[in-house]
Chains A and B, each alone.
Chain A
């Protein structure tokens, strides 16, 4: 029996994004859920649901929105050593992974995420185009905990290898 897929965090992303979201090739789609302050036009991620944090806009309505699923790499690094608890290593022995900070053009904010397995530091550079895909954070006996991950947009990767 297939394992149940549960988001590793509730309410921060959706595994069934709206129809007009760009679909990644060969990967399950995902979109981050943010909120937009209606009066100031600013965005919040993780979604702010209490009140707008834009000073002077406390009375503004917060509207839930899906954020752009593509952006430019703002910076990146990797984790050569296993991070401490409460991190759950998906593999034993531990496999280092990359981390990306990606700038979304419309929302004008930078969002962190792990980079998909198989992409190394040398495959990344500031400014390259990245896309969001659904990945697995870790699994237990009957559940796969899903998480958003970043990966270089395919064409960009190909150019790097040429």
Chain B
């Protein structure tokens, strides 16, 4: 069977029956609490009892000791052991999507009908930093030790390319923040719900030139959960229970591809790119490949997308995603933004949740939060900014060590 045939068979065979989130913030409590709250909400949303779940997948956190490394079991124990199989995934910012993919595979293979996916995090204040100890063979430790390269320094390198190559300005970047702040203002799950002006951004201190404090996402506590089921189960369940009448949202694609050698874009936490001497670089870069794989699996293209949730680790990075996901040509993202295409009411609103600008990053929960938001958008029940009649939504994110993911939902 060809890849296309496989894709055709798996697209839209799995339903998102329930979603739930714990509000993002700096609550300082145990991450398990946020995960359990999100899971309870997702189960209630689906109208499913925890005892009817056949598989549990957790997205790991690296900042909360052993329970964080075995998140699937941690959440299963907290919800009450029921004897079901478990998995725990870690893939940096893509962790939630990897856990979601594990759950989808269980359902597609017929090994279970209902799966619960949970991710939650409690984050320390300030720059994300490596684990402690002298670890001279860990590039994530060495980049701080030998260079002082923080995550925002990498974001800034990419942002500077937009300025020097495409003529982008700091004000363009600020417009992303202004848009996302406006989108997220009524989202009950968002941490920051306050309008931002260009002056606010310009007055915030530079962290890593050209990025200012308000261009860069914070780190947050939060939790998100998703209940996936087979289509057959979903239809039967909705016909027999007191369904809400909301449209059924389907998983059309989950992409968790790795880069192709040589990857010539600088990635966290690396000291250098791969070399393109000897072996030619692929036509499509890593971030483009993440979206390409999702589109191929879903059998849709950028023109079909009604709504998107993309990883705005920095304001400038949201603009990169417009191009990498094919919403516009290379170097055209600033125009797309300024034309209002990616704002509420535009042809392809991006980050109606408010994005990381309003949430701050809770790593293992974030890719799942994107799926929660798209589900609400496609059902037409989002409590904050709501797209009109959205039928196809795409998520995208990228993180350390060659991880990235994209999920396409349809109804």
Residues of B within 8 A of A111 (CB): 271-272
Q: How far is the CA of A147 from the CA of B149 in the complex (A)?
A: 14
B145 to chain A, nearest CB (A): 4
Closest Cβ neighbor of B205 among chain A residues:
A80
Point out which of A55, A87, A106, A113 has the most chain B C-beta atoms below 10 A from its C-beta: A87
Q: How far is the CA of A10 from the CA of B167 in the complex (A)?
A: 40
Q: How far is the CA of A137 from the CA of B97 in the complex (A)?
A: 39
Inter-subunit contact B146/A77 (CB<8 Å): no
Q: Interface readout for B232-264 with A: 1 if CB under 8 Å, 0 if not?
A: 000000000000000000000000000001101
Q: Name the one of A41, A97, A112 contacting B271, with C-beta atoms under 8 angstroms.
A: A112
Inter-subunit contact B157/A54 (CB<8 Å): no
B residues near A (Cβ < 8 Å) are: 126-127, 129-130, 132, 134, 136, 139, 141-150, 153, 156-158, 160-161, 164-165, 205-211, 261-262, 264, 266, 270-279
Q: Name the one of B150, B207, B211, B264 contacting A110, with C-beta atoms under 8 angstroms.
A: B264
> In A64-123, which residues have CB < 8 Å from any B CB?
74-81, 83-88, 97, 99, 101, 106-114, 121
Majority-rule SS of A interface residues: loop
Inter-subunit contact B276/A99 (CB<8 Å): no
Given A109-B264, A121-B209, A125-B164; A86-B145 close (CB under 8 Å)? yes
Q: Name the one of B132, B161, B206, B211 contacting A75, with C-beta atoms under 8 angstroms.
A: B161
Inter-subunit contact B157/A87 (CB<8 Å): no
Q: How far is the CA of A125 from the CA of B209 in the complex (A)?
A: 12
Inter-subunit contact A77/B126 (CB<8 Å): no
Point out which of A9, A10, A74, A88 has the most chain B C-beta atoms below 10 A from its C-beta: A74
Residues of B within 8 A of A43 (CB): 275, 277-278
A42 adjacent to chain B (CB < 8 Å): yes
Q: How far is the CA of A84 from the CA of B140 in the complex (A)?
A: 12
Inter-subunit contact B275/A42 (CB<8 Å): yes
Contacts A74-B157, A77-B157, A110-B264 aside, 5 further interface pairs with beta carbons under 8 A come to A54-B261, A80-B205, A84-B129, A112-B143, A112-B272
Majority-rule SS of B interface residues: loop
Q: How far is the CA of A132 from the CA of B141 in the complex (A)?
A: 23
Q: How far is the CA of A136 from the CA of B274 in the complex (A)?
A: 27
Closest Cβ neighbor of B161 among chain A residues:
A75
Residues of B within 8 A of A125 (CB): 164
Q: How far is the CA of A148 from the CA of B279 in the complex (A)?
A: 27
A101 to chain B, nearest CB (A): 6
Residues of B within 8 A of A106 (CB): 277
Inter-subunit contact B266/A44 (CB<8 Å): no
> In A31-48, which residues have CB < 8 Å from any B CB?
37, 40-46
16 example contacts (A-B, Cβ-Cβ < 8 A) are as follows A41-B277, A42-B275, A42-B277, A75-B157, A75-B266, A77-B209, A78-B209, A83-B148, A86-B130, A99-B147, A106-B277, A108-B275, A110-B264, A112-B147, A112-B266, A112-B270
Inter-subunit contact A87/B145 (CB<8 Å): yes
A52 to chain B, nearest CB (A): 10
B142 to chain A, nearest CB (A): 7
Inter-subunit contact B275/A44 (CB<8 Å): yes
A126 adjacent to chain B (CB < 8 Å): yes
Q: How far is the CA of A136 from the CA of B145 in the complex (A)?
A: 13
Residues of A within 8 A of B144 (CB): 83-87
Inter-subunit contact A79/B150 (CB<8 Å): yes
**What 7 pairs between A and B have smallest CB-CB spacing?**
A41-B278, A77-B156, A126-B164, A83-B148, A42-B278, A108-B276, A43-B275
Q: Name the one of A41, A88, A113 contacting B145, with C-beta atoms under 8 angstroms.
A: A88
